[in-house]
Structure 1
Amino acid sequence: MGSVIAVAAALSAQHASAVDFKAGDWTVGVGGIVNAYYTQVSCSGIAVGGLALADRGLGCGGKKDRSAVGNGLLPNGLVASAGSNLSGYDVKAVVAIYSATATDSAVAQNSTVDVRQAYFTFGNADMGTVKLGRDLGIFGSNAILSDMTLLGAGLPVQATQRGRVTLGHIGAGYSYMGYYGQIAYSAPKSAGVGIDVALVSPVADTPVITASRYSAGTAPQVQAQLSWSGSGAKVWLGAKTQKFEALAAGGKDLTMSAMELGASYADGPFGLLANVQGGKAIGILSDADQGDVRGRNYFLQGTYKATDKLKLGLGYGVSRNSDNAAGTGGLKQNANLTLGAYYSLNSAVTLVGEVGQSRSKAFAGGEAKMNGASLGGIIFF
């Protein structure tokens, strides 16, 4: 199975399902994720504007200090899968339904669900693997799925944790990998080399601060990745591109083009990760969310397994706009530093404690700061 298919399965099949049973030629599995974190944040400084994740408007939900008990970077999820080998092909189907823990109401129905994954794969060792359906993108997946805060909270942005999730280092280290309708192919690995490509259903821009300016183009988005792994090391080079069509009559269309280079290394109890992204319309959180703006993302992480059960880690990320364009709202950069401790209570439950500081800077020179702490846990079943 190709590297991206393996990464894509990390949220749904990395841990053993609570139930696996045979049904004719099929092996059917049902499992999931539940997590909750108490987060406390305190904001200071000026209102930077745009997608400033550390200021009061987003980081503290419009207040100086705020708390919540909600999801970390992962939502709650129920994952069903079915797999078999039929006529010489390994086939698998996955449907995953996710929900949030925290809301602003004690009586309203918490009925919003997010079907992030619904796909099937087929292939074998000779031909590689083809995937069709909705799943995470190739670009950015290694960074977020290798982030230690995937099991915790990272950036405890209150505006997103209530009704959704925290951000890890999204918007302060890497852009979100996204979930797309896609047809993807992972070639068979040879000498540790993997090749992954995907035709992705084109998307519209998703600005948070301003009105939408672009619609999905007529051609699909294309994502691709070249990787190598061996002897505890992994290196990857990725890219994505899409044309966005201007909504305004006579407006100028926009072509997103972004690149990514990353590497990780594990040696005994030590682990290191470095990832760099950059390009036109890469966005702070998602594709073209600031319009025609060039940006760069930097993410560094070091971890140390102090005991068989306890892992300590330090992660630092920066997302920086190169252009002081209207779509940025004046935001120059977001940065986050997180120190975390992750304790494996058993094979299913991980208890997590994190502290961190986030800073958002404006092109005009002002700065907002958010101090945050998270305490909770996650279970995979």
Structure 2
Amino acid sequence: MSTPSAHYDVIILGAGASGLFCAFTAAQRGRRVLVLERANKVGKKILMSGGGRCNFTNQTVEPANFISINQHFCKSALKRYTQWDFIALVERHGIDYEERKHGQLFCTDSARDIVDMLLDECAAAGAEVRTQCEIRQILPAGPADTGTARYKMTIDQSQQTAQLTCESLVVATGALSVPTLGGSGYGYDIARQFGLPLTERRAGLVPFTFSDALKPMCERLSGLAVEVSVTCNGQTFVENMLFTHRGMSGPVMLQISNYWQPGDELVIDLLPDRDASTWLTTTKREQPRTRLRNVLSPSLAKALVTELQQFWWPDRDETPLAEWSDRQLSDIGQQLNGWRIKPSGTEGYRTAEVTLGGVDTAAISSRTMEATSQPGLYFIGEVLDVTGHLGGFNFQWAWASGHCAGLVV
């Protein structure tokens, strides 16, 4: 029996945020588009994002919200398809959404609304989407293939093998983060196959783990959240920190993890709105009989104060402030404003929201997302060396990069 074959103008690998967006953008231009997805359903990462509500973009999107070896690469795409463009699309589909702090926009009901919107756009434009497809081989097309074909591939679907050709091949396979949702390094394999460089990759927007005395402390405080400022390698974020059974998480730790390297210290300001040294020495004069833990407890959770006491003043828990020297209180204040900790590592790709690094943008056109040395081969979304901060920025990059490629494929 002969193997079925078909030719498409555009084949997109990956039915996630960037892949689906690229698909309907290209199909709206009259291109014959096929999207191939390995998983049994599309948009798995969208569905799980934002606690199931999908933080789909942000009110304020700037190049500074993105990390890349080439900080300028993202500018063109973000300018050509803005957060306001995506918000208009969401509103056109009648999806209710809400703004949370720091300009983050979430679906009021469910992330399913965003996936359904993308699929509706694909259906209306005529883009075909197939799931449970395994790519067996990708090769440059030869003279015997369809005249406009640049690439040919062999795929397995429903226990059947098919041969496909296309003029434009778009890699929207995502990256290594959260393998249970389909994350893989397949896009990097394709880049290597066609001679494109990769930058170093590591887990980003990921919780920290500890192996020293902080580990049992974090276990005891698991579930406690406190607003702090965290600094590492010249970057500072102010948000909630969450203690977990494994270490420290929460928005502020996820943000700073993008700038942390193994061996680096984190500096945590537990009282970011005040000079703790001045406050404690002033309080000593005003309330000389008060214990230090009683001064701190209204500003920090009592359980956290108890743990810090064991670290920093274990033998003075019943000592009134009057019996502390100003220098001793000042030292405690400096620790509260500058608690230095050294994580042993992170939870890795298993729980990372993104992958830092990827296909080197030096080999990609910032206007079209096409590989400059390989006509007809495009890379969009997380597979590229462009990573956004927490807060809807990675989705905005998916929409913008998918849009740019969709206009030209």
TM-score in terms of structure 1 length: 0.22
Relative contact order, higher structure (CA 8 A, sep 6+): 2
TM-score in terms of structure 2 length: 0.21
Instruction: Compare the two structures and name the one with the higher strand fraction.
Output: 1
Instruction: Compare the two structures and name the one with the higher helix fraction.
Output: 2
